[in-house]
Amino acid sequence: MNVSVLTIGDELLNGELSDTNTAAVARRLAAHGYRVRESLCVRDEMDDIVAALQLMADRRAVLIVTGGLGPTADDLTAEAAATAFGRPLEENPAAQEEVRAYFLRHNLTMHPRNDKQARLPVGVEILTNRLGTAPGFRLDTGHCDCFFLPGVPTEMVAMLDEAVLPRLERNHGEGLPTRERVLKVFGLSEPKCEALLVAAGLPEKVQVAFGVDFPFVHVKLRASGSEAETLLDRTEPVARRALGDFVVATGDASLAQTVARLLTEQRKTLALAESCTGGWIAKQLTDLPGASAFLERGAVTYANSAKRDWLKVPEAVLETQGAVSAECARAMAKGIREAAQADVALSVTGIAGPDGGTPGKPVGTVFIGLATASGEEVKGYRFSGDRDTVRRLSVCMALDRLRRYLEKH
């Protein structure tokens, strides 16, 4: 079934904000087998909204509208719907109840302006908004089932799940849901992934799509229909084998989550010594609840004094090889592992730029050390890109080195 989306708001058309609601609606609808056919965005202008509502309601069986349900003067959606579909505004008692209940639940005093949010076209069905003051509503024009939702993404998404999708299934039947498995790959290019999967010969009914979330390639396996899950259960291991140990995570998980899971499962502790990544590895790991189970400590050793004091990097290494060297990365990994008495340790030292490069060690030169009970292993890299890219690649490469070690031990 084809669905149209209409998003409303000046902020979406003056460059302040990108519209994320269309993609959020599309993702949820696709999972239930409905297809967003087009999306229109207009400003907070009465005539534009009225014309857009009529245009879109004329085209498809279902229309999802987001935005313009708030209490302020530039919130025009309810009035525009009244005009577009010849349904005068009225005080909607159910909507009044919803708005009042919201304020009561949150111990807030209701501003008289919030009354406006209960003035809705006649004959609409109210859609509860658990997370905000603006109730949504459903208006059936006879040709088009129109759902009006607030523009705030968290409220909109919750209402989509709780109020819109159940009604779509009830009124329009279930779609042909598409199921998806995502494999996240680090270290192989998109064409290389494609070639490996072609060679592996996946079932024809499984669609393969690629996406890039730099520096990761997302391989998406998709199937529709009642046997989608079975088909994907059978296909996923084939795809994994084809991509080998370059698969770093699955589904919504990240590389950092894979590393955290492996450390936790193996009851190993970790220590970090970061120079050019400046705490970003530690930040990614501590984003995750439960990081205290494995992260003993991290050092952001920007100055040489910190490398000497805390990591026991020998003065001679700093003087002869410099802070950006394989020897320094080795000493850092060894030093932090011993200081923390951790099972494993990672070290990163490099030149992220834009300044600090030399002919022998240009910007992008990075050394990553991994220390374990069996000693230290250091590799040198030359990443290209700006400061953010070099740092990002360093973080991912370090975590990936650790992942590969943990998967073998």
Cβ–Cβ under 8 Å, residues 387 and 354 = yes
Q: Which range, of 163-171, 199-207, 243-251, 285-293, touches a copy of itself by CB under 8 A?
A: 285-293
Give residues 22-41 in contact with a copy of itself (rule: CB under 8 A): 22-30, 35-41
Q: Shortest distance, CB of residue 293 to a copy of itself, whole angstroms?
A: 10
Asked if 112 interacts with a copy of itself (CB under 8 A), we say no
Asked if 301 interacts with a copy of itself (CB under 8 A), we say yes
Q: Shortest distance, CB of residue 296 to a copy of itself, whole angstroms?
A: 5
Sign of the dihedral through C-alpha 261, 266, 267, 269? negative
Q: Shortest distance, CB of residue 108 to a copy of itself, whole angstroms?
A: 13
Residue 185's region, left for phi above 0, alpha for psi from -120 to 50, else beta, is: beta
Q: Which range, of 61-69, 231-239, 286-294, 366-374, touches a copy of itself by CB under 8 A?
A: 286-294
- β 2-8/35-42 pair status: parallel
Give residues 222-281 in contact with a copy of itself (rule: CB under 8 A): 272, 274, 276-281
Asked if 303 interacts with a copy of itself (CB under 8 A), we say yes
Q: Shortest distance, CB of residue 12 to a copy of itself, whole angstroms?
A: 7
Member of 17, 46, 104, 122 binding a copy of itself (CB under 8 A): 17
Member of 302, 385, 401, 404 binding a copy of itself (CB under 8 A): 302
Angle at the Cα of 185 from the Cα atoms of 180 and 188, rounded to 5 degrees: 130
Secondary structure of residue 221 in the 3-state scheme? strand
Asked if 13 interacts with a copy of itself (CB under 8 A), we say yes
Instruction: Please say which residue, 120 or 181, places its beta carbon nearer to a copy of itself.
Output: 181
Secondary structure of residue 286 in the 3-state scheme? helix
Instruction: Please say which residue, 295 or 317, places its beta carbon nearer to a copy of itself.
Output: 295
Spatial separation of the C-alpha atoms in residues 286 and 270, rounded to whole Å: 12
Q: Shortest distance, CB of residue 221 to a copy of itself, whole angstroms?
A: 14
Member of 140, 309, 338, 377 binding a copy of itself (CB under 8 A): 309
In the block, residue with structure tokens 């919201």: 102
Asked if 375 interacts with a copy of itself (CB under 8 A), we say no
Instruction: Please say which residue, 61 or 291, places its beta carbon nearer to a copy of itself.
Output: 291
Cβ–Cβ under 8 Å, residues 124 and 92 = yes
Give residues 173-232 in contact with a copy of itself (rule: CB under 8 A): 209, 211
Which tokens hold the place of 98?
């919803």
Size of site (CB under 8 A) for a copy of itself: 71
Task: Return the DSSP state at 10.
Answer: G
CA distances for 60 relative to 3, 36, 188, 361, angstroms? 6, 10, 41, 60
Task: Return the DSSP state at 143.
Answer: S
Spatial separation of the C-alpha atoms in residues 321 and 58, rounded to whole Å: 72
Asked if 44 interacts with a copy of itself (CB under 8 A), we say no
Q: Which range, of 91-99, 123-131, 230-238, 383-391, touches a copy of itself by CB under 8 A?
A: 383-391
Give residues 58-87 in contact with a copy of itself (rule: CB under 8 A): none
Member of 107, 226, 292, 374 binding a copy of itself (CB under 8 A): 292
Asked if 376 interacts with a copy of itself (CB under 8 A), we say no
Spatial separation of the C-alpha atoms in residues 79 and 89, rounded to whole Å: 7
Cβ–Cβ under 8 Å, residues 201 and 207 = no
Q: Which range, of 115-123, 239-247, 250-258, 300-308, touches a copy of itself by CB under 8 A?
A: 300-308
Asked if 340 interacts with a copy of itself (CB under 8 A), we say yes
Spatial separation of the C-alpha atoms in residues 321 and 315, rounded to whole Å: 10
Member of 255, 299, 313, 390 binding a copy of itself (CB under 8 A): 299
Give residue 48's Cα distance to chain centre: 32
Question: What's the first-to-final CA gap in the chain, in angstroms?
Answer: 49
Asked if 14 interacts with a copy of itself (CB under 8 A), we say yes
